[in-house]
């Protein structure tokens, strides 16, 4: 993680699903860059541990992104703890795969709820506070599965393509309020989400399908998210950024 790079001094961010993986890496980098963060997750133990590690600049709220009422608690906590809200990172998600013909209605509906409805509820919840702050940045974590068709990704891919579409439409709706909305599309990143699929060798292994020949690290996604949260990206909205080692080129 680089100590240099865009600063986030005075900014307050909500990062969903930040108890582990990329969200936790983003919380750490944001605080290092001068921000205060509200960490949310359904994994209370992990979320509390990340917040404790970050001290006074972080608080944890146990929250399921599909719960609209809980979103009010999240935004209220941000303002009560740190006085304002500037940034939302819609990071929380579930990953499951199955060929389209054997995918179940239950699993398809669940992935759409968590990966697409959740970010939508988050956007609705934070917009009033972002307006009060005079503008802000919303970063939606999609996937390379939101850029191209992948085997077994009917449900997850539909949710991540949907999040990409939500990003573009929200960017247009909110531009007048100086609220920017962009999507990030990670490739294969070494986190607990995909650990089972990658096996024990993970990052060490040569990954011939990836032009950069390796899988990515959570902090490499966090660097991009920090940039999009910061004023360094002030003229960027409705845009899509792959961080995938060249996988989708």
Residue 86 binds to ligand NAD (criterion: CB under 6 A): no
Is-contact 114 2, C-beta < 8 A? no
Using CB under 6 A, pick the residue from 122, 157, 186, 245 that binds ligand NAD.
Answer: 186
Q: Report the DSSP pairing between strands 36-41 and 12-16.
A: parallel
Neighbour count for residue 48 (Cβ, 10 Å): 16
Tokens of 96: 């499951």
Residue 17 binds to ligand NAD (criterion: CB under 6 A): yes
Alpha-helical segments (H) within 60-187: 68-82, 105-112, 118-132, 154-174
Backbone φ and ψ of 192, nearest 5°: -55, -25
The mark string for 131-150 relative to ligand NAD (x by CB under 6 A, - otherwise) is: ----------x-x-------
Identify which of 84, 57, 156, 56 has the alpha carbon closest to the alpha carbon of residue 116: 156
Residue 43 binds to ligand NAD (criterion: CB under 6 A): yes
Nearest distance from C-beta of residue 147 to ligand NAD, angstroms: 10
Applying CB under 6 A, the span of 39-47, 130-138, 202-210, 235-243 interacting with ligand NAD comes to 39-47
Size of the site for ligand NAD (CB under 6 A): 29
| 235 given a catalytic annotation | no
Residues near ligand NAD (CB under 6 A):
16-17, 19-23, 41-43, 64-66, 91-95, 114, 118, 141, 143, 186, 188-189, 191-194
């Amino acid at each position: 993680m680089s100590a240099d790079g865009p600063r986030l001094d005075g900014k307050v961010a909500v990062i969903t699903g930040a108890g582990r993986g990329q969200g936790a890496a983003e919380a750490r980098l944001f605080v290092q860059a001068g921000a205060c963060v509200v960490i949310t997750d359904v994994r209370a133990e992990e979320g509390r541990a990340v917040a404790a590690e970050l001290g006074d600049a972080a608080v944890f709220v146990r929250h399921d992104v599909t719960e609209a009422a809980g979103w009010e608690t999240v935004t209220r906590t941000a303002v009560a703890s740190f006085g304002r809200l500037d940034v939302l990172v819609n990071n929380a998600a579930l990953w499951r795969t199955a060929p389209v013909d054997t995918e179940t209605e239950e699993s398809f509906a669940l992935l759409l709820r968590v990966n697409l409805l959740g970010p939508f509820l988050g956007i609705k919840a934070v917009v009033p506070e972002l307006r009060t702050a005079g503008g802000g940045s919303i970063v939606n974590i999609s996937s390379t599965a939101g850029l191209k068709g992948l085997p077994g990704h009917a449900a997850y891919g539909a949710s991540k393509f949907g999040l990409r579409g939500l990003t573009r439409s929200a960017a247009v709706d909110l531009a007048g309020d100086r609220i920017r909305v962009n999507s990030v599309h990670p490739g294969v990143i070494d986190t607990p989400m995909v650990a089972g699929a990658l096996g024990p060798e993970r990052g060490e292994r040569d990954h011939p399908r990836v032009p950069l020949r390796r899988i990515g690290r959570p902090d490499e996604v966090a660097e991009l998210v920090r940039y999009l949260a910061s004023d360094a990206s002030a003229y960027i909205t409705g845009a899509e950024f792959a961080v995938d080692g060249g996988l989708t080129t």
